[in-house]
Chains A and B, each alone.
Chain A
Amino acid sequence: GENVEQHPSTLSVQEGDSAVIKCTYSDSASNYFPWYKQELGKRPQLIIDIRSNVGEKKDQRIAVTLNKTAKHFSLHITETQPEDSAVYFCAATYEYSSASKIIFGSGTRLSIRP
């Protein structure tokens, strides 16, 4: 069935270093891949997304790459700052006969060490 696997589950990096979170998906028809950031007790917020017709997208310190052949996509955060500490979720769409659903990964807890 449909599945999105996310690794690692926890990640600790030194402030100023880069962080990379990786996800794989199972449905080759998936065409939309959003990333959400969730701070403790708050709602998930979209930080970046990518569609299947591009391989990379950047927004300041955040970038996402997509490899459709290998069915994996990654989030890259450069020059990490304390406010980057949060849980990050990847997601992928799955197509059904009448609609599409978004399936979320299990999350990565990112901690930035001062």
Chain B
Amino acid sequence: DGGITQSPKYLFRKEGQNVTLSCEQNLNHDAMYWYRQDPGQGLRLIYYSQIVNDFQKGDIAEGYSVSREKKESFPLTVTSAQKNPTAFYLCASSKGSDADTQYFGPGTRLTVL
């Protein structure tokens, strides 16, 4: 999982702003994922992508958007439509989508001011 990075580590957003979280991997993995983790909670899937230029909504996609223009990159935009965005965001990747191990990035902690 050392080959998957996220930036920034901490991010502060004012209400009404869109912000973009970066996720990059050099593992040559086809599949990438975004999860949201709230304090003391588990991981909830926001979006996932199995191949370039294709992605699917997860369980809590409302207020978020993604793109997958390159295999290595899967940025997540938290839009102003997301009413409670303060959380820890984790990106993950796997070789494929078929029961493969997911490796996580170090996470981005987003706080709304």
Contacts and interface: CB of A to CB of B under 8 A. Distances in A.
A107 B101 contact: no
A34 B101 contact: yes
B53 to A, nearest CB: 15
Interface in A65-114: 89, 93, 98-102, 104-107, 109
A51 B99 CA distance: 9
Interface residues of A: mostly helix, strand, loop or mixed? strand
Contact of B42 (A34, A42, A107): A107
A31 interface: yes
Contact of A31 (B48, B56, B99, B102): B99
B20 interface: no
Interface string B48-69: 1010000010100000000000
A44 B101 contact: no
A12 interface: no
Those 10 A-B pairs whose CB atoms lie nearest each other, nearest first: A32-B99, A43-B104, A99-B97, A106-B42, A104-B43, A93-B99, A104-B42, A107-B42, A44-B104, A43-B106
Interface of B: 1, 40-43, 45, 48, 50, 56, 58, 90, 97-107, 109
Given A44-B43, A106-B41, A107-B40, 18 more contacts: A31-B99, A32-B99, A34-B102, A36-B104, A41-B109, A42-B107, A46-B1, A49-B101, A51-B99, A89-B43, A98-B50, A99-B48, A99-B98, A100-B98, A104-B42, A104-B43, A106-B42, A107-B42
